[in-house]
């Protein structure tokens, strides 16, 4: 590869890294034995929510207001990037007794 | 017709209650057998529904029941193997299986929307009966801590399914 291109690539990568807002975080929420914990999470727009399903059963993270519906197969993880602010209640469609809340700040 | 259906449901609920009331003192091998049997009953009902149901939410619910109860029963088998407990057949399991077989035969005569409604209504009733038995009898009677833990998770699953069945039932109206 030409040194010129290499330099360009480094520049692009460096710019890419800078472009990611410093505050964007990944927040992990665990589903185990049909319990969502923590049951209430505070986050900011741009953060990523990562649900870890530790059960042998499939779950979902489904917003009551229809904003999202993330499938979480057994022993798998699902993610969602928060796009808008608000308090969102969500539940599992397969086990509606599993309920939790996201508090998303701008 | 509605009166007859309601009476049939009431009778079934009473019978299920009676099935659980017969054995005051249950051992862990018996408890494991009852919990496993409850799962098998629901899988069999769901398999009938997979073949007979017409509503897509009812079909999806049946798929969920097969998937969940097969996963939980596999966990239960792994646990009893690990604990070296041999599940033991008993009067409660026998009564539950007999009622379930009668119910399957009754449901097999229905079709279309009538079948869908009757299946979902029975799912609500069956899960309620099992919730009640788990809460009041099986969990308190279990001596092994791991078995108790699995039954407690089982209770949450059955309660979740009951609520799910109630949602489906409400949409069929």
Residue-wise pLDDT tens for chain A (106 aa)?
A: 566 666 666 555 555 555 555 578 999 999 999 999 999 999 999 999 999 999 999 999 999 999 999 999 999 999 999 999 999 999 999 999 999 999 999 9
Q: Within 13 Å, how many C-alpha atoms sit on residue B32's CB side?
A: 23
State the pTM of this model: 0.82
Rounded Cα gap, residues B62 and B80, in angstroms: 27
Interface of B with A (CB under 8 A): 64, 67-68, 71-72, 74-75, 152-153, 156-157, 159-161, 163-164, 167
Q: State pLDDT tens for residues B13-67.
A: 444 555 665 546 899 999 999 999 999 999 999 999 999 999 999 999 999 999 9
| Burial per residue of B111-143, b for 16 or more beta-carbon CB atoms within 10 angstroms, e otherwise | eeeebbbbbbbbbbbbbbbbbbbbeebbbebbe
- Confirm if B42 and B69 have CB atoms less than 8 A apart: yes
For B160, the closest of A56, A74, A97 (CB atoms) is: A97
From A36, A38, A32, A41, select the one nearest A61 (Cα to Cα).
A36
ipTM tops the 0.90 cut: no
Report the run of H or E that residue B153 belongs to, with start and end.
helix B145-172
Give the SS3 label for residue B108.
helix
Rounded Cα gap, residues B104 and B98, in angstroms: 10
Tell me what pLDDT residue B2 has: 45
Tell me what pLDDT residue A24 has: 87
Rounded Cα gap, residues A65 and A81, in angstroms: 17
Q: State pLDDT tens for residues B106-165.
A: 999 999 999 999 999 999 999 999 999 999 999 999 999 999 999 999 999 999 999 999
In degrees and rounded to multiples of 5, residue A33 shows phi and psi of 50, 40
Q: Which of B43, B128, B153, B168 to mutate to test the interface with A (most CBs of A within 10 A)?
A: B153
Two tokens, residue A8: 């360009």
- Confirm if B47 and B80 have CB atoms less than 8 A apart: no
CB contacts < 8 A (A, B): 41
Kindly report the nearest CA distance between residue A35 and chain B, in angstroms.
Answer: 9
Work out the pLDDT band at B10, boundaries 50, 70, 90. Answer: very low
Residue in chain A closest to B158 (alpha carbons) equals A95
């Amino acid at each position: 590869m030409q040194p010129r291109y290499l330099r360009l690539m480094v520049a692009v990568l460096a710019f890419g890294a800078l472009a990611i807002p410093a505050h964007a975080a990944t927040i992990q929420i665990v589903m185990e034995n049909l319990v969502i914990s923590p049951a209430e999470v505070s986050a900011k727009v741009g953060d990523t929510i990562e649900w870890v399903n530790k059960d042998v059963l499939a779950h979902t993270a489904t917003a009551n207001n229809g904003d999202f519906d993330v499938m979480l197969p057994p022993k798998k993880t699902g993610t969602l990037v928060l796009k808008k602010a608000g308090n969102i209640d969500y539940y599992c469609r397969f086990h509606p007794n599993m309920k939790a809340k996201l508090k998303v700040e701008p | 017709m509605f009166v007859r259906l309601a009476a049939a449901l009431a009778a079934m609920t009473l019978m299920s209650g009676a099935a659980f009331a017969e054995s005051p003192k249950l051992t862990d091998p018996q408890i494991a057998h009852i919990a496993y049997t409850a799962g098998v009953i629901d899988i069999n009902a769901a398999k009938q529904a997979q073949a007979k149901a017409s509503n897509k939410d009812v079909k999806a619910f049946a798929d969920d029941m097969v998937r969940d109860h097969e996963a939980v029963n596999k966990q239960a088998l792994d646990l009893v193997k690990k604990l070296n407990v041999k599940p033991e057949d008993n009067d409660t399991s026998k009564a539950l299986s007999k009622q379930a077989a009668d119910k399957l035969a009754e449901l097999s005569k229905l079709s279309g929307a009538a079948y869908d409604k009757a299946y979902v209504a029975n799912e609500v009733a069956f899960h309620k009966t099992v919730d009640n038995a788990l809460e009041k009898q099986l969990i308190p009677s279990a001596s092994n801590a791991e078995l108790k833990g699995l039954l407690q998770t089982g209770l949450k699953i059955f309660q979740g399914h009951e609520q799910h069945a109630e949602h489906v039932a409400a949409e069929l109206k």
